[in-house]
Chains A and B, each alone.
Chain A
Amino acid sequence: MKKKVISIVLGILVLITPIILRSKPSLISYLNLVMIYAIAVEGLNLLLGVAGQISLGHAAFMAIGGYTSAILVMNLHLPSFIGIIAGVIFAAFFGFLIGFPSLRLKGFYLAIATMALSTAITDIIKRLQITGSDHGLMNIPPIKVFNFSFSSEISKYYLFLAFLVLVVILIRNFLRGKGGMALKAMRDSEFGALACGINISYYKILAFVISSALAGLAGALYAHSISYLHPMNFGLGLSIDFLAITIIGGLGTIFGPILGSFLWIILPRFFGARLESMATVLFGVILILVVLFLPRGLYEIVEKFDRILKRPVGEK
């Protein structure tokens, strides 16, 4: 009962936040970035938290999604939704290309292959003309549906919120379905899963393709929201950041990525731009502390709180 009340209150809070903050669009734009990150990290969480595989290429998939969509919309004047869908498909395709050879083997091969992808993609983008080479891609138009263009921060907020909710629901359903069950069985005991007749490689590749598609979606949204893309923003550093967000937020949980992304975007604002590299150190330390003491991340704290709420009144 109490839990229901709290989730309704939280839901309303999420819905009215932009209206409260409407005089400060810069704050809303941070929240928008939080949601973009959360979408990418939800995908990574599926891979890392459920399938137990490390990807160092999610920034690269974001770049693939973002550049694909931006180029299609800018050069071919396609509607932005087709651009976004193409970005997602293209990212998923690259995910398959990388995942197929590396996920059939046991070990850390996916991490190595995605790391190679990460550096290759930034170098390729820097050299190609169509991607704006070293100057980056500028003036990417905002997302347009019929005649409404999502250019104000508030409209973007609701659009991204809708995408995020969609992604959360999709992942939840996937985890409850056969695929999720197979992945969880695999994580707990690969040998056991194999003995139950689960096609391990198939489900690993499936999880990786889904998660790269989500990264592509996040990238496409990012491109149309920030309207500027530069290869340096999608380097290996961002991929490592995503991994850290996943762990800090809560491995294998649905809301962990949102929590982690929120902390990740908001905390450095208190440091100011000059000390941004100090924030990296701080996050590294937080990551180590979480690994040592909170194996399920910050979401564990929420869960503990949740358990206290569920307790009947009067009981200690």
Chain B
Amino acid sequence: MFSLIFRGLATGSIYSLTAVGIVLILSTTNVMNFAQGDVGMFLTYIAFLFIARNVPPYLTLPVVVVAGILLGVVLDRGLMIRARRSSHLGMVMITLALTMILEGIVATFFGTIPLYFPPIAQGDPLIIGNVIMDRQNILTIGVALLIFLILFIILYRTKIGIAARSIADDEYGATILGVPINRITTFIWALSFGIAGIAGLMTAPRLSLEPSFMIVVQLKAFIAAVLGGMGSITGAIFGGLILGVLENFIAYYIPSIKESFSLILVVVVLLFLPNGIFGRREARRA
């Protein structure tokens, strides 16, 4: 029972990490980033290159973060700023194009055969009482908590974070008050792609490394964001954790609806809780 909750929390923290990245971008630029999962996938493949050269797995963590930040800066400076002038739908389409490009590149150079990705924390699981805790899962939860902490410090205690939240609240108002919108959005893309890399690195050992391994995680992250009310970071974090635990219970007790569970959940939440569990009350019904 508690082992189940624990495993759910580990899965959930991966969902939360991805969901946080999506929500960060959505609330500041109003772009639904469909590439969040695939960016993580791509960065994990970069990490795999290092691991194949016998670099210890934990050292790939900073590599992935730096690569993610670079990718985010390049994407925003190179494409998004330009596309922002023409159309909003175009920006969403660019993220879809990005998934095609990244998946295509990976499939060309690594093939589509699943690869084994070693867990960062190895060793026997810890057993406390009757709770079995896998080391990789402990690490996942720990890393996720650390990132959430850093994120909150950035968003609520630094100038950049306050500026980012002001853009999310009211972009026009922020412009008038002299917030450098372009610089802040670049920062947000970089931040969120860095997080995407960590999420990928945490997911790869649980599944196996293949070009589409993050798609399911991304879908779950979207659902987590919906649960959390779309647009609130805290909501996304708790939405992800709740979804992870819920999913583990469903897979254990009612395995027959395992696959359709996420679909059912989305429909139910949209019908009855359109603001999510934590979302601010807004007249979003049209």
Which residues on B sit within 8 Å (CB–CB) of A52? 89
Q: Are A107 and B259 in contact (CB under 8 A)?
A: no
Q: Given A52-B89, A281-B104, do A194 and B96 touch, yes or no (CB 8 Å)?
A: no
Q: Which of A48, A113, A116, A240 has the most CB of B within 10 A?
A: A116
Interface string of A6-50 (1 = CB under 8 A from B): 000000000000000000000000000000000000000000100
Which residues on A sit within 8 Å (CB–CB) of B92? 54
Q: Given A52-B89, A105-B286, A106-B284, do A113 and B259 touch, yes or no (CB 8 Å)?
A: no
Q: Given A244-B97, A288-B79, do A280 and B89 touch, yes or no (CB 8 Å)?
A: no
Q: Are B86 and A113 in contact (CB under 8 A)?
A: no
Q: Are A120 and B93 in contact (CB under 8 A)?
A: no
Which residues on B sit within 8 Å (CB–CB) of A280? 100-101, 103-104, 107
Q: With an 8 A cutoff between CB atoms, is B191 at the interface? A: no
In the bound assembly, the distance between CA atoms of A111 and B36 in angstroms comes to 15
Q: With an 8 A cutoff between CB atoms, is B83 at the interface? A: yes
Q: Are B86 and A291 in contact (CB under 8 A)?
A: yes
Segment from B115-123, B167-175, B177-185, B265-273 that makes contact with A: B265-273
B82, B259, B266, B284: the one contacting A127 at CB < 8 Å is: B259
Q: Are B286 and A284 in contact (CB under 8 A)?
A: no
Interface string of B205-216 (1 = CB under 8 A from A): 000000010011
Q: Are A275 and B108 in contact (CB under 8 A)?
A: yes
Q: Given A112-B226, A194-B286, A291-B83, do A281 and B101 touch, yes or no (CB 8 Å)?
A: yes
Q: Are B86 and A281 in contact (CB under 8 A)?
A: no
Q: Are A119 and B216 in contact (CB under 8 A)?
A: yes
Q: With an 8 A cutoff between CB atoms, is A143 at the interface? A: no
Which residues on B sit within 8 Å (CB–CB) of A123? 259-260
Q: Are B108 and A277 in contact (CB under 8 A)?
A: yes
Q: How far is the CB of B7 from chain A (nearest CB, A)?
A: 21
Q: With an 8 A cutoff between CB atoms, is A192 at the interface? A: no
Q: Are B286 and A116 in contact (CB under 8 A)?
A: no
B90, B112, B216, B222: the one contacting A112 at CB < 8 Å is: B222
Q: With an 8 A cutoff between CB atoms, is B98 at the interface? A: yes
Q: With an 8 A cutoff between CB atoms, is B13 at the interface? A: no
Q: How far is the CB of B163 from chain A (nearest CB, A)?
A: 24
A104, A109, A116: the one contacting B219 at CB < 8 Å is: A116
Main secondary structure of the interface of A (DSSP, over half): helix
Q: Are B259 and A120 in contact (CB under 8 A)?
A: yes
Q: Are A115 and B219 in contact (CB under 8 A)?
A: yes
Restricting to A88-142, which residues have a CB under 8 Å from any CB of B? 97-98, 101-102, 104-109, 111-113, 115-117, 119-120, 123-124, 127
Restricting to A282-311, which residues have a CB under 8 Å from any CB of B? 282-285, 287-288, 291-292, 295
Q: With an 8 A cutoff between CB atoms, is A247 at the interface? A: yes
Question: How many residues of A are counted as interface, with CB atoms below 8 angstroms from the partner's CB atoms?
Answer: 52
Q: Given A54-B92, A112-B226, A116-B223, do A281 and B108 touch, yes or no (CB 8 Å)?
A: yes
* A–B complex contacts, Cβ < 8 Å, 25 sampled: A97-B267, A101-B270, A101-B271, A106-B286, A108-B32, A111-B32, A112-B222, A113-B267, A116-B262, A117-B263, A119-B219, A119-B259, A120-B262, A120-B263, A201-B286, A240-B34, A243-B96, A244-B97, A251-B89, A280-B107, A281-B104, A281-B105, A287-B97, A288-B94, A291-B86
Q: A200's closest neighbor in chain B, by CB? A: B286
Q: How far is the CB of B82 from chain A (nearest CB, A)?
A: 6
Which residues on B sit within 8 Å (CB–CB) of A54? 32, 89, 92
Q: With an 8 A cutoff between CB atoms, is B87 at the interface? A: yes
Q: With an 8 A cutoff between CB atoms, is A236 at the interface? A: yes
In the bound assembly, the distance between CA atoms of A247 and B90 in angstroms comes to 9
Q: With an 8 A cutoff between CB atoms, is B230 at the interface? A: yes
Q: With an 8 A cutoff between CB atoms, is B274 at the interface? A: yes
Which residues on A sit within 8 Å (CB–CB) of B103? 237, 277, 280
Restricting to B241-269, which residues have a CB under 8 Å from any CB of A? 259-260, 262-263, 266-267
Q: With an 8 A cutoff between CB atoms, is B157 at the interface? A: no
Which residues on B sit within 8 Å (CB–CB) of A106? 284-286
B26, B93, B98, B263: the one contacting A116 at CB < 8 Å is: B263
